[in-house]
Amino acid sequence: MKIELLEQPSEYHRFRYETEVSNGKLGGLLYGRTGNRSHVRLRVSGIDPLLHKSLIIIGATINSDLLPHPYFMVGDNCSNGAFQLKKDVDSLSNKSEFEFALEKVSLVCVSTKGAKLQEAIENRKKINFNPFNKNMDEARYNSRNLKSIRLVFQVFYTDYNDQHQPTNAIVTSDVITDSRQQVKLGIFDIHPNQATVSGCHDIWVYFDDPLPQAPQKRKRATPSQKPVVNMDEFLQIV
């Protein structure tokens, strides 16, 4: 059996506070990396109807070193901080694969203060989902190393004796970084490369890396000194 990530999660995401998702609220959905509000999508393949009665896909947070992470997931098919999707194999009509998406899922951050952080770590341990058998205490989480996570998904199945079995079908996502962290951007081009001092002009700035997902804003600058009108010189300055 195999599980694949067809679309990676967004590279930058603003993790929600627990107060933002209380009382059943769900804001700040996690989107896919291709943009246009696409969703994280996965495919499970290699399903054997003679062996597998039902499938359970579990997903949760880990860090870059594959250790369980205290941030948690809420939303559709989420319970106790983890993603849990059950699929009866009979519903697949003898197909050996199926796809699913995380359409309404949010990622929630936790407090970095001592007691509350420790409580969040203990809650993550209680999920009892640790595909790589890592010791979570080795992570030594603090305010500096909490803000980048990955997602991990593993397939389990129930056989016809109603026994639950893990599989080696595991997949991890690329890193998801808190969009509120400062991003260092490198400019590689500006168009047009010259502009007059008077009047308003649209100037396109091209960066080396994608910008964090955020509402686009148009800024107007009023120079108080003699402006740099040659954009090639401006590039050398920045």
| pLDDT in 10s for each residue of the chain, 238 residues | 999 999 999 999 999 999 888 877 777 899 999 988 899 999 999 999 999 999 999 999 999 999 999 999 999 999 999 999 999 999 999 999 999 999 999 999 999 888 999 999 999 999 999 999 999 989 899 888 898 999 999 999 999 999 999 999 999 999 999 887 655 667 777 877 776 666 567 778 887 766 655 545 555 555 555 554 454 554 454 4
In degrees rounded to 5, what are phi and psi of residue 202?
Answer: -85, 125
Determine the residue type at 77.
Answer: N
Task: For the domain covering 2-180, report its CATH number.
Answer: 2.60.40.340
Contact in structure between 148 and 175 (CB atoms under 8 Å): yes
Place of tokens 């004796």: 161
* Amino acid 218: pLDDT: 53
What is the pLDDT at residue 32? 96
**Burial class of residue 26 in the structure, from the number of CB atoms within 10 Å of its CB (0-12 exposed, 13-18 middle, 19+ buried):** middle
Tell me how far apart the alpha carbons of residues 49 and 114 are, in angstroms, rounded to a whole number.
48
Each residue's pLDDT tens digit, 194-209 = 766 665 677 788 877 6
Sequence spans of domains, the chain: 2-180
- CA 113, distance to chain mean position in Å, is 23
Strand 72-75 with 97-102, pairing: unpaired
222 CA to centre of own chain:
38
Look at residue 189 in the predicted model and tell me its pLDDT.
Answer: 79
Contact 109, 148 (CB under 8 A): no
